[in-house]
């Protein structure tokens, strides 16, 4: 897939006649979303800092007994800043600085809940299978430098921040985890959510570094709604999305790092399917750019060793429980997506479509309990 | 959504420049599929009978130890033939005849496994909430006239046929079910699969007529692969799709009847997400046309009573485990989709992406077993 192709939505908007574009967008993206007007000083500062900003509103109908619960959700996608040959400290500091500039713009746009991309303070170095120096990017989730910085931002901007990092757990054997730290708008760390499903495909050699998460499917009740975090490869697992819904999430973030022609056709499908099936909002975030590494590595595909991870295609978007979604951010540029959404839409969709009422969880609790037995005999009918 | 809009794919092909079309299709639909050359006599007969036919091939790589397992899958979408004011027998007989013509063409195209649309021998009359005369369309799954007819076709054409009907179960209280009958290419009835999740939304008042299915998640081992049937509303439930996969399905049909601007943006998402997550093929089938009924009925939306169900938008398609999919059939015309697929792709995707290996079913068996308890306290973290 051409890395230079900027955006599916912009391509359709450019070439389709107006009436056709409307119908195509309805089929592909559901009802038309409101365009969100963002402050002039924010958009001009974004432009100065070479940052795409898009804003949309996803409304619910007005209820009699509940006030609208309107929240502005921010999602940031970005390239790494320095070459991966720079020192660990330099690379991280440069990312801290760059994201700080973007968080400032998010605050100017009134963002209440902000999520950064997976393992944001580092290059996605797991393709190399090298432990040195990449393991040094791992940080303590509670007192590491990245968490401290996010706490400052959270408090300063009155913003809930989800900060996905490579976690070092010193208490439990110095192990590493792929972890999202959830920081309240008060600046307090509310807790962490670890990646539940770990890939072993292509250059995604993450099982070399950390294990499947042990934090289950926690939901964080913030001032701006009940949120949860399903990290990267967990989006391929509908049962993972489902448990966050069962536990009450209204908004589930999917901070990711993904590349290539194989995963891109899945990108628009999975987080959106989860929003529909679970009557909640989802926000899928992917990095941009191509990351080059100092030493060559092979990709388990029989091809010669090489030094880059391919093109992270961005395309960050928000999906709503009514099957609508925002356009994606650029496939190539740093970006901030601001979505103003009314959380009341979640329960309205539960009432309307009834997907939660009709889930029959007892059937699946029983079926799965049977299915995991070593001597399970699936009900296969033969002639 | 305009009923007269024929096809999303044709619209894109008409307006996008070639290079852009290629990229857009890659992002939306995955790798380019092979066009399937169908016999001239079949396509000209189809044209005579006002029937759209499309054919595609979905290949897998050649293995050393297993031969390719190539199967031609057929999916039929159709309008009803007579007005709903005709007698029950006349309406059904007319549909039997029309579908017989389409099955003949499927046979000429070499189809091995054929699936018809949900409740195909009748109008989708559940919108009316009237019991009379619509309940008379219910038939015995084993010895009813529709099953008998399908058995003849199956034997004559050496074709597995999935025949979704309104079932009357005389042995168990004369109750009705929404049921798919699975008929072997030998002409024998292999068994039945009942609809697991029943809607209560808009005009889909099916819970007025029948209950949630009690046949679980059976998989049928036919000469042409292990198949299963997830009927209509069950496609909104990822856990339902998942259990068919856990039980070994390689190809899951989703015979449906769905209308409107609310469900159409979900249509391209759900069966496709299921194919990706479960490493199997799916085939989603929807009726076409607008069905008018003798008496007016209301839709639970505060609007005046009316006599039609709105526009069934067709768009039948096949999705593959590698995230590719065929284009959809027309949104307005009767159609036959023929897809030649290599079932070996299922295991190849399991090996490649590892979605099955990384499912952690034990975690979800435990989590759901806890979650269904009346006193369950979800893990909600507060500040």
A64 is catalytic: no
What are B23-34's pLDDT values in tens digits? 999 999 999 999
Rounded Cα distance between A72 and A85, Å, is 37
A18 CB burial (10 A radius; 0-12, 13-18, 19+):
exposed
CA angle B304, B310, B315 (to 5 degrees): 160
Interchain proximity A5–B17, CB inside 8 Å: no
**Contact by Cβ (8 Å): A236, B353:** yes
> Does residue B16 sit in helix, strand or coil?
coil
Query: Residue A4's pLDDT is what?
Result: 78
- Contact present, A12 and A34 (Cβ < 8 Å): no
ipTM at complex level: 0.96
Instruction: For residue range B268-297, list pLDDT tens digits in order.
Output: 999 999 999 999 999 999 999 999 999 999
> Which residue in B269, B328, B377 has the most chain A C-beta atoms within 10 A of its own C-beta, making it the best mutation to test that interface?
B269
Residue recorded with tokens 């029989």: A302
Q: How far is CA A264 from CA A8, A196, A226, in A?
A: 12, 21, 29
Which is higher by pLDDT, A46 or B260?
A46
Chain B residues close to A31, C-beta within 8 Å = 261
pLDDT of residue A23: 94
Contacts of A191 in chain B (CB under 8 A): 381
> With the CA atoms of B323, A378, B241 and B151 taken in that order, what torsion angle do they form, in degrees rounded to the nearest 10?
90
- State residue A1's pLDDT score: 56
- Partners of B383 on chain A (C-beta within 8 Å) are 184, 186, 188, 190, 221-222
Task: Write the DSSP assignment of B96-135 as a string of letters.
Answer: HHHHHHHHHHHHHTT-SEEEPPTTTTS--GGGS---TTGG
Residue spans of alpha helices (H) in A247-298 = 260-278
Question: What does the block give as tokens for A245?
Answer: 């819904």
Measured between alpha carbons, how far is B366 from A366 in angstroms, rounded to an integer? Answer: 10
DSSP summary character for residue A211: P
**B359: which residues sit within 8 A by CB, 6+ positions away?**
A197, A237, A239
pLDDT band at B175 (very low <50, low <70, confident <90, very high): very high
CB contact under 8 A, B247 and A30: no
- Distance, in angstroms, between A347 CA and closest chain B CA? 14
Q: Measure A87 CA to nearest chain B CA, in Å.
A: 33
Q: In this model, does residue B262 exceed pLDDT 90?
A: no
What is the C-alpha separation between A21 and A379, in angstroms, rounded?
46
B72, B90, B122, B124, B166 from B84: Cα distances, Å: 34, 10, 9, 10, 16
B267 to chain A: closest CA residue: A27
Over chain B, what is the mean pLDDT? 97
H helix runs in chain A, sequence order: 8-15, 18-29, 40-48, 88-108, 145-157, 238-246, 260-278, 344-353, 361-371
In whole angstroms, give the CA distance from residue A93 to residue A375: 53
What residues of chain A score a pLDDT lower than 50? none
Annotation marks residue B118 as catalytic: yes
Q: Read off the tokens for A11.
A: 């391509």
Q: Degrees (nearest 5) of the Cα angle B20, B23, B24?
A: 80
Share above pLDDT 70 across residues of chain B, in percent, rounded to a whole number: 99
pLDDT at B261: 79
Q: What's the pLDDT score for residue B85?
A: 98
Helix (H), strand (E), coil (C) string for A28-71: HHCCCCEECCCCHHHHHHHHHCCCEEEEEEECCCCCCCCCCCEE
For chain B, which domains are there?
33-293+305-371 (3.60.110.10)
Helix (H, G, I), strand (E, B) or coil at A325: strand
CB contacts, 8 Å: A239 with chain B: 238-239, 242, 359, 361, 364
Three-state secondary-structure class, residue B235:
helix
Q: How far apart are CA A29 and CA A23, in angstroms?
A: 10
pLDDT digits (tens, 9 = 90+) for A83-111: 999 999 999 999 999 999 999 999 999 99
* pLDDT at residue A262, as a whole number: 80
Query: Does the annotation count A90 as an active-site position?
Result: no
The tally of CA atoms less than 13 A away on the side-chain side of residue B297 is 22
B interface test, pick of A273, A275, A282, A377 with most B CB neighbours within 10 Å: A273
Where residue B99 falls (left for φ over 0; alpha for ψ -120 to 50; beta otherwise) is alpha
Alpha-carbon Rg for chain B, nearest whole angstrom, is: 21
Query: Hey, is B362 helix, strand or coil?
Result: helix
Best B212, B264, B370, B381 member to test A by mutation, with max A CBs in 10 Å, is B381
CB atoms within 10 A of CB B37: 9
Please give the Cα distance from A125 to B349 (Å, whole number).
25
């Amino acid at each position: 897939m051409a890395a230079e192709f900027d955006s599916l939505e912009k391509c359709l908007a450019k070439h389709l006649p107006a009436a056709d574009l409307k119908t195509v967008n309805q089929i592909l993206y559901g009802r038309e979303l409101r365009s969100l007007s963002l402050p002039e000083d924010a958009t001009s500062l974004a432009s100065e800092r070479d940052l795409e900003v898009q804003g949309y509103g996803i409304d619910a109908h007005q209820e009699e007994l509940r006030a609208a619960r309107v929240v502005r959700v921010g999602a940031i996608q970005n390239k790494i800043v320095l070459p991966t040959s720079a020192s660990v400290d330099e690379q991280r500091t440069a990312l801290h600085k760059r994201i700080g500039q973007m968080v400032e713009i998010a605050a100017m746009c009134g963002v209440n809940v902000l999520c950064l991309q997976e393992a944001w303070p580092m290059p996605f170095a797991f393709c190399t299978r090298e432990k040195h120096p990449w393991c040094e990017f791992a940080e303590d989730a509670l007192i590491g430098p990245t968490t401290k910085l996010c706490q400052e931002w959270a408090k300063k901007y009155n913003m809930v921040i989800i900060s996905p990092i490579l976690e070092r757990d010193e208490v439990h054997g110095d192990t590493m985890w792929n972890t999202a730290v959830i920081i309240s708008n008060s600046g307090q760390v509310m807790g962490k959510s670890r990646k539940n499903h770990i890939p072993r495909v292509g250059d995604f050699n993450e099982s070399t570094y950390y294990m499947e998460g042990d934090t289950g499917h926690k939901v964080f009740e913030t001032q701006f709604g009940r949120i949860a975090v399903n990290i990267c490869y967990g989006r391929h697992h509908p049962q993972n999305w489902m448990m966050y819904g069962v536990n009450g999430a209204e908004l589930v973030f999917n901070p990711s790092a993904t590349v290539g022609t194989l995963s891109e056709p899945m990108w628009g499908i999975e987080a959106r399917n989860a929003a529909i099936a679970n009557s909640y909002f989802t926000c899928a975030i992917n990095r941009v750019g191509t990351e080059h590494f100092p030493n060559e590595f092979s990709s388990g595909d029989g091809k010669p060793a090489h030094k880059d991870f391919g093109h992270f295609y961005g395309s960050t978007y928000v999906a709503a429980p009514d099957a609508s979604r925002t356009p994606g951010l650029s496939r190539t540029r740093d970006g901030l997506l601001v979505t103003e959404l009314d959380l009341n839409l979640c329960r309205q969709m539960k009432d309307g479509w009834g997907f939660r009422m009709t889930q029959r969880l007892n059937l699946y609790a029983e079926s799965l309990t049977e299915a995991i037995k070593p001597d399970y005999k699936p009900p296969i009918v033969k002639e």
